[in-house]
Structure 1
Amino acid sequence: MPTITVGLRPHTLPAPITEDTPPAAVAMLLGTLHALPDGGMRIVFDVNGDPARLRIPAAAEPGKADGLWQHTCFEAFIATPGEEAYREFNFSPSGQWAGYAFSRYRERNTVADPSFTPRMQCRVDAGHLMLEVELPASALPSVAAGISLQVGLAAVIELADGSLDYWAVHHPAAQPDFHHRDGWVLSFDPRMISA
């Protein structure tokens, strides 16, 4: 089954490490894409660090919710290459999610918002926060056979002091901007399942 694993990095790099520097709250953040047999996509976000130094949203009634990005939240931006339209997905460790359609850069198209219910699972232990989500094929943009989707993975990490760190595979702008298309550097075809 096709799989891609990439490291995300913070928009603002931490200060140089000295012997007096405490370890970072997040040492590493990985994102992994898996193709599913039905043409859907599994995304796994794995935060290696100290969950005690993060603000992780408490479990809530699973369902759609807006404003998830204001706290620890994992995001995927998915588009068909060459088209301005794209989709944004937000996933909270609380079990809540959101899906939005855009007709072009930051221009919402509420009529085309994807209707879906993802399968989500969140685990927290002494050194990890892991969130796994499965998106059905119907939630993804449609592409012609042989064309891969353009994907950007990102995360907002809320630290214990309430500040927010912005993580992505690539940060193309001076300010954090997950909607910036140049940050979507992954190419993935969820339909390419090996026999």
Structure 2
Amino acid sequence: MLVTLTPHPDTPSAAIHRIEVDVERREDFIWLRFAVFGDVGQVRWPEPAEPDRADDLWRHTCFEVFAPTDDGYREFNLSPSGAWASYTFAGYRLGMTPANERSQVLDVETTEAWVTVEALVEAPLEAVRIGLSAVIEDIDGGVSYWALAHPPGKPDFHHPDSFALTLPPPEPA
């Protein structure tokens, strides 16, 4: 399924004009390919890093998945550097701890007009609605916030109204 993210009205991007996300549910995983279109040379892309867990990825160009669960929700951060993070929240921005679920950045492709980041997220099976978002930092330090849906007010990917995509049931293996 292909969906489009939109920039928050308070944080437009001069360089990027579209972000699309291809999404598939694959048993215990969600496969994603984020595609960023525009003047991608004006984006501050993180330097390649070890494909390990890392904190504070959302402070720079990063892609995110939010998945409500029976015990709160999970947040997954996917950096074009290859680093990733996963967190458990007991409630709206409450009780953040590292999650057991893992993620993996599979591939990053770059051209002059677009960049794609392909990833797998180990999502809990009860996650039937998700939020998809992106933080895009430009080379001058400006930041734009992209999501499927933006609740009123400042950018807030944790808000339940941002969990706007209903996933199909898992595909059999």
Query: Does TM-score exceed 0.5, indicating one fold?
Result: yes
Deviation at residue 10 of structure 1 after TM alignment: 0.6
Q: Does 1:63 align with 2:52?
A: yes
Whether the 8 Å CA contact 2:82–2:104 is kept in 1: the answer is no
- Please state if 1:142 is matched with 2:125: yes
1:47 partner amino acid: V
Q: CA deviation at 1:50?
A: 1.2
Work out the CA distance in 1 between the residues paired with 2:43 and 2:79. 13
Instruction: Report the CA distance between 1:70 and its aligned residue.
Output: 0.8
CA-based RMSD: 2.2
Cα deviation for residue 13 of structure 1 reads 6.1
- Which residue matches 1:6? 3
- Which residue in the other structure is 2:104 paired with? 118
- How far has the Cα of 1:117 moved from its partner? 4.6
Unaligned residue ranges in structure 2 (runs of 5+): none
How many residues align structurally?
Answer: 173
1:27 aligns with one of 17, 24, 28: 17
CA distance in 2, matches of 1:130, 1:108: 32
Contact 2:60-2:136 within 8 A present in 1 as well: yes
- Does the residue aligned with 2:90 lie in a helix, a strand or coil? strand
Using structure 2 for the length normalisation, give the TM-score: 0.90
Structure 1 residue 182, shift from structure 2 partner: 0.6
Tell me which of 159, 165, 171 is aligned to 2:138. Answer: 159
Report deviation, 1:84.
5.9
How far did 1:87 drift? 0.3
Offset at 1:170? 0.5
Cα distance in 2 for partners of 1:84, 1:105 equals: 11
The TM-score, its normalising length taken from structure 1, stands at 0.81
Aligned to 2:80: 93
**What displacement does 1:176 show?**
0.3
> 1:25: how far off?
0.7
